[in-house]
Amino acid sequence: MSVAAGKPRGVLFRWAEILPLTEKTPRLTLGEGDTPLVRSVALEGLCGLDELWLKLESCNPTGSFKDRGMVVAVAKAVESGAKAIMCASTGNTSASAAAYAARCGIDCFVLVPGGKVAAGKMAQAVAFGSRILEVEGNFDQALNAARELTAKHPVALVNSVNPNRIAGQKTAAFEICEALGDAPGLLAIPVGNAGNITAYWQGFCECAERGLANAHPRMMGFQAAGAAPIVLGEKVERPQTVASAIRIGNPASWKGATSARDESGGLIAAVTDEEILEAYRLLARREGLFVEPASAAGVAGLLKLGREGRLRGGRAVAVLTGNGLKDPDTAAAQHTPDITRAEATVEGVERALGW
């Protein structure tokens, strides 16, 4: 494993004091964390907010928030002598695990639901050289198998049931408090396996304890309507949604999500695929932010609450969890391309444009 040149960047360097590191933990990095927090003037009015800030977790090295927790989980696995890691995944966890395993020179086994992972994420798992097992079942079944396999074989489990993942992911809450000088009033976030909402809540609580924030945000989690077990209060056997990243019917951190909701006075609600895709298109067309569909669920939720008159000003942060390049098929289906053929000359292009 090589080290980064110049001033070291990355979650293990920036946030060492709030992570479970020892002298023996390898200081692994692909330059994760420290992602932009940009204001969305176009969307804050539509939501009925005074300020809406977007945390661009899509800017992490493998294109999703998973890198924050994965760098900690993989570093700790290597520290403990593991030669291989395993995860079940709807795509982003596997892309991230595969990247950090490649960087450490260890093996990575990924269990993905057959035919349900977006093309870009599969391309990443392939490129990073992971061993890919397409299971005949959904994410929830794949995670059950991964838990049992890693209990039986000398392979480290790097799903978010691994507390090192949560520890790494909580660093995003610290970055937000640092950037805004306080916690926001609301945090909007997509919920799938519910590790991220659990990690953010832990992070915001620690920020308040350490005096980095004066208050806690209300945690607003959004599930896709066809995969909304926490909203329904029961497992969903056959989850369905265009937002394949959050096509999860039995979240591992269910309890973490309901605690975040209840302790913060927040909510966990459902947004339909149409609402998710509306937010997906708005983020691209109005803000120049190309995210994957699941990432738009938080903004979809704020837009919905805004329309219902349930947001009265205040400052919110929405977490944009993954890059739009991950799911080119949904992009092609959602955006009608405006493409005109032209000859490769000035006159040819002018003619095509009608100039």
Residues that bind ligand AN7 (CB under 6 A): 64, 89-93, 160, 190-196, 245-246, 292, 294-295, 321-322
**C-alpha dist (Å) from residue 224 to 175, 190, 242, 269, 297:** 27, 8, 9, 9, 7
Report the residue number, 196 or 241, with the smaller CB distance to ligand AN7. Answer: 196
Residue among 214, 212, 236, 215 nearest 224 (CA): 236
Q: Give the Cα separation of 269 and 246 in Å (integer).
A: 14
Report the residue number, 195 or 266, with the smaller CB distance to ligand AN7. Answer: 195
Non-local CB neighbours of 37 within 8 Å, separated by 6+ positions: 53, 54, 55, 56, 175, 176, 179, 180, 317
Shortest separation between residue 249's beta carbon and ligand AN7, angstroms: 12
Shortest separation between residue 315's beta carbon and ligand AN7, angstroms: 22
Residue among 69, 139, 70, 60 nearest 98 (CA): 70
Report the residue number, 1 or 135, with the smaller CB distance to ligand AN7. Answer: 135
Report the residue number, 48 or 276, with the smaller CB distance to ligand AN7. Answer: 276
Shortest separation between residue 64's beta carbon and ligand AN7, angstroms: 5
Shortest separation between residue 294's beta carbon and ligand AN7, angstroms: 4
Residue among 168, 189, 193, 163 nearest 253 (CA): 193
Report the residue number, 138 or 295, with the smaller CB distance to ligand AN7. Answer: 295
Report the residue number, 47 or 245, with the smaller CB distance to ligand AN7. Answer: 245
Shortest separation between residue 161's beta carbon and ligand AN7, angstroms: 11
Residue among 190, 183, 146 nearest 297 (CA): 190
Integer-rounded Cα radius of gyration of the chain: 20
Shortest separation between residue 194's beta carbon and ligand AN7, angstroms: 5
Shortest separation between residue 65's beta carbon and ligand AN7, angstroms: 7
**What DSSP string describes 208-276?**
HHTTS-SSPPEEEEEEEGGG-HHHHTS--SS---S-GGG--SS-TTHHHHHHHHHHHT-EEEEE-HHHH
Report the residue number, 40 or 223, with the smaller CB distance to ligand AN7. Answer: 223
Shortest separation between residue 281's beta carbon and ligand AN7, angstroms: 17
Task: Strands of the chain (E only): list them.
Answer: 37-39, 51-56, 84-88, 107-113, 131-135, 156-157, 186-190, 218-224, 267-271, 315-320
Report the residue number, 48 or 264, with the smaller CB distance to ligand AN7. Answer: 264
Residue among 271, 206, 282, 213 nearest 43 (CA): 282
Report the residue number, 48 or 72, with the smaller CB distance to ligand AN7. Answer: 72
Shortest separation between residue 228's beta carbon and ligand AN7, angstroms: 12
Q: Could you tell me if 170 and 200 are in contact, meaning their C-beta atoms sit under 8 angstroms apart?
A: yes
